[in-house]
Amino acid sequence: MTTMSAPSETPWPSLTGARPARLLSLDFLRGLTIAFMILVNNNGDELRAYWPLKHAAWNGFTPTDLVFPTFLFLVGISTVFSTASRLAQGATRQSLLLHVLRRAVILFLLGLLVNSFPFFNLHTMRFYGVLPRIAICYFVVASLYLISPGWRSKAVLAVSALLAYWILMRFVPVPGYGVPTHDIPLLDRDANLTAWLDRQIFSASHLYEHTRDPEGLLSTIPALATALLGVLTGIWLRTQRTLNQKITGIATAGLSGILLGGLWNLSFPINKKLWTSSYVLFAGGLSLSLLALSLFIVDLPKKQNAKQNHDGLLKPFFIFGTNAIVAYVFSELLAAALSSIPVHPGVNLQQSIFRSILQAVPNTAFASLLYALAFVAVCWLFVAVLYRRKIFIKI
């Protein structure tokens, strides 16, 4: 996505200047993403929910498939801003590298907590997952940015990751199955290199879908490209260009990503569960477009009017965005708890609550949506208490 006209490679000392101004649009988009993530993760009935609230079954794309890459994209942007902020406060690169390592370890351990709660059975513990993937991607891109803050190396790495993953998935024979497009279909559900590798590392009981895992090891390569796209965007946002120029550049890059991802989809299908290279570009393009829109709605009016505030319809998303990881972890633990508390033989508390809603609203899809909205509201109330008490948990 060269349409951003990124700045020239920046020497490290230039990042030790003034603390960067906070972009409220990042909090807003992060909050919106977390709210939607909680919504789609907690349908009352997973099978009968409205299609936009479910992941694509395999190849293809739904609005739900945009959630995780957008959050990972925002992690990349936040890495740039948080690094600049800490450097402005006098932190050293060595101390920041230790901070990155500590944060990555905590995120990974939180992922294990979320995956295992409340039973913590080692024989079925899932080591992959949303938070472990975020931890790995954050550690890699944040370390790379600390070592070399310029944009060119990040762009080269992102492109290399996408091309390398395509080559691996398209041309490398899958042991026991054969060569994709010759002996087996391209991106076969189980006969693909990503699924095969995960089965060599873990037994079926440790994999989310038993024969494969949507956050598997090999698909972390293109996921790194998603995070690097965020880093590149963060670097672009820290240039001296006007906000209007930044919005235009981001919107143009977003459209380019959507078009390139759509074209690559013709030969390398968009697939969230395998995090294909076409998916990275397509979802990344949509994430960039959402960011451009958020900047236009949130930060541009604020820049034009210093008294502009966002206490209206946008405020709930700002509240979610200020404690995003906490909101996500709370939602996952709450969902696991509801599913673990028996009410009647063969019926847990989550099912009982949903059935109560279904009795009042006989449309299963709509009842599922109402349950999900109520679940989001409960999570928001928890985060709102933290916000009111000015408790912002930084990992």
DSSP 4-27: G-PPPPPPGGGGGSSPPPP-HHHH
* Same domain for 133 and 164: yes
Domains of the chain: total: 2
Q: The pTM is what?
A: 0.92
Handedness of CA 143, 29, 215, 382 (dihedral sign): positive
Please report which helix (H) or strand (E) contains residue 272, including its range: none
* Same domain for 101 and 177: yes
In a domain, 117, yes or no: yes
For residue 271, the enclosing domain spans 65-308
- The predicted structure's pLDDT at residue 310: 56
Average pLDDT over residues 208-233: 97
Tokens of 344: 């009647």
Tokens of 145: 């940015």
Cα 298 to Cα 286, 287, 301: the distances in Å are 18, 16, 6
Average pLDDT over residues 81-91: 90
Structural domain ending residue among the three candidates 248, 283, 308: 308
- The predicted structure's pLDDT at residue 20: 63
- The predicted structure's pLDDT at residue 56: 96
Dump pLDDT digits (tens) for 155-213.
999 999 999 999 999 999 999 999 999 999 999 999 999 999 999 999 999 999 999 99
- The predicted structure's pLDDT at residue 309: 56
* Same domain for 228 and 193: yes
Average pLDDT over residues 271-298: 97
Nearest of 138, 137, 23, 131 to residue 81 by alpha carbon: 23
Whether residue 97 is predicted with pLDDT greater than 90 in this model: the reply is yes
* Same domain for 213 and 322: no
In a domain, 327, yes or no: yes
- The predicted structure's pLDDT at residue 313: 78
- Name the pLDDT band for 308 (thresholds 50, 70, 90): low
Structural domain ending residue among the three candidates 285, 308, 331: 308
In a domain, 60, yes or no: no
Contacting residues for 391 by C-beta, under 8 A, at least 6 apart: 323
304 vs 81, more confident: 81
In a domain, 350, yes or no: yes
* Same domain for 275 and 171: yes
Whether residue 7 is predicted with pLDDT greater than 90 in this model: the reply is no
Average pLDDT over residues 227-235: 98
Tokens of 50: 């409205």
Cα–Cα distance, 303 to 96 (Å, whole number)? 31
Structural domain ending residue among the three candidates 308, 323, 356: 308
In a domain, 175, yes or no: yes
Q: Are 358 and 367 in contact (CB under 8 A)?
A: yes
In a domain, 7, yes or no: no
Percent of the chain with pLDDT over 90: 85
* Same domain for 294 and 162: yes
- The predicted structure's pLDDT at residue 73: 98
* Same domain for 214 and 84: yes
Average pLDDT over residues 71-79: 97
Tokens of 104: 């990555």
- The predicted structure's pLDDT at residue 304: 60
DSSP 116-175: HTTT--TTT----SHHHHHHHHHHHHHHHHHH---SHHHHHHHHHHHHHHHHHHHHSPBT
- The predicted structure's pLDDT at residue 241: 93
Question: Which of 196-205, 258-267, 303-312 is the least confident region?
Answer: 303-312
Q: Are 195 and 216 in contact (CB under 8 A)?
A: yes
In a domain, 249, yes or no: yes
- Name the pLDDT band for 18 (thresholds 50, 70, 90): low
- The predicted structure's pLDDT at residue 300: 86
Distance, first Cα to last Cα, the chain: 31
Contacting residues for 18 by C-beta, under 8 A, at least 6 apart: 88
In a domain, 6, yes or no: no
Cα–Cα distance, 179 to 176 (Å, whole number)? 10
* Same domain for 344 and 255: no
- The predicted structure's pLDDT at residue 350: 96
Whether residue 363 is predicted with pLDDT greater than 70 in this model: the reply is yes
Percent of the chain with pLDDT over 70: 92
* Same domain for 172 and 133: yes
* Same domain for 315 and 240: no
* Same domain for 192 and 46: no
What integer best gives the mean pLDDT of the chain?
92
* Same domain for 383 and 287: no
Cα–Cα distance, 381 to 257 (Å, whole number)? 36
- The predicted structure's pLDDT at residue 29: 96
Whether residue 274 is predicted with pLDDT greater than 70 in this model: the reply is yes
Report how far Cα 310 is from the mean position of its chain's Cα atoms: 25
Query: Could you tell me how many residues make up the chain?
Result: 395
Q: Are 395 and 325 in contact (CB under 8 A)?
A: yes
